[in-house]
Structure 1
């Protein structure tokens, strides 16, 4: 990808959980709305696994609308007439922030020399960006899915930095099932003959087939059985009879292939490996002596947890676990399970009840 992104180079090196250090770290970001004179109205939005900084503006690669335009903008639940919204591409990703495709100090892409990172390392990068922007304390940090992990990590490790924490469709640690799905995706990428042990950046061919399969497998986890049945059922794709072959006979097959092939145009395969590994390592209790309540012992923030009844990737029980820990830590917390047919992706789609929760909590 050769696009130029708005970015900031962090002044201080990032010491990583795995023992490595990244220097001259670039964090690409977008902002929306004006910062108040007292700098009290900033909201940090944290993106999910395959997301990026273009939360409310057109994506420069695909041309598609921002991933949360329905939620962010003038007069919307996250109202840019009232708030200064900052959304950054996490380190390890591929939309301008330092990651595997970035040039190492020797002038060659890091590829698999890039250090393995954690969710907390990603948040270190975000906090470094806030320092560069002169934002000492956020009105709120907001995130869904992996973005929710980042929001919880910021609240636990930098408790003075945010007044409100809104974590949607997320978890405090990755389950064995989550890790298993990610491993299928990673193995698909690494089995692609064009992966070349990660050193494919100088090659014309990229590991697109493996990355597409990884995306297809993951995308299934973002949906619900009822949603798939309603949208596709067992309906055939552009035909009236089965072919008795291995083309995409069913609509759901065609849909997954479309999702996979489109994804390869905007995402880097090595970034997918690194980000999924970071999510798998995430365990907020483990970081704080094995007790999740200890993670929030020093927090002064107000919390809101939101789950969806059709989300089987991060089910409601995961949010309740966080809520119980916050209660044990004495932190003010509200919680709601919303009904939606879309599965895990509900936080990105048209769920009016979520709009009301977000707007009300931020106010």
Structure 2
């Protein structure tokens, strides 16, 4: 449990004059409490007050897991036949609520739950606290960096398994299954997103769907995967050639590699985030592939696989020591295939560190 993080949130609530914060997003809950679960339709929420102890609401079946995190504050458990909102309402009625608003995660909250929260204190406005929470999560601690580094090593391993599994006639889904099987053997129970193994024309879709398509000679094979390790995510992409590639395919690959290499050189504290996207985009455009680079250069990485900062060309924020994010240029040509090269990056006092280290030189396998 992270009491210091809760204290920072409480301080912010007090400064803003807010009555309390209602937190139910999976990543934010984990960040503030150390408790991570998939509640499905059941309510799991953290209520943080500016001047009182926080309270956590969860199903009875989760109570022991919550206590295992070190949670020592009040805990409201409930059965499937009980209404957790009524229990929370009763708890709140036991002391005076002070403040003019309730801080919520507007982007994550359903209308149904927003209405339920409003009923707790009808006279209070609902305001958004997501940006404050994301700013709190932006700079990683030493312990977070250690976990991100280990998660990155496991992502490297996943790519290694996938590359070694390439064989004529083997399908994308077969290779995907082999990757995840070997990661599970290492204790990984959750991937940070749906693993991608895309070949040939399929690789031209940045977020394509792996299928029963057999891998064929002369194709790009794109691997995009990541793991969740003790609540922290990794995200790597590598692209290889299966068999001999054409000159055009090699040009695409080397253009993407150059774009990533040159962009990484600019990853240091003080650099404007948007300049990273512009750097990669200028290299890819100059090579004649500008229209085939349809996404931003990267995204933040932490308790979620996509979080702040957003590395798009309009972002005028600056890199800070302790930020972690991806750098992932790509070129995707319909009918031909696509290349993406992605690393997890940490900003250090001396520049940057690539947490993912699987080799990036072009290889033609088989």
TM-score in terms of structure 1 length: 0.27
Q: Which has the higher contact order (CA 8 A, sep 6+)?
A: 1
Which one has a larger percent strand, Structure 1 or Structure 2? 2
Larger radius of gyration: 2
TM-score in terms of structure 2 length: 0.27
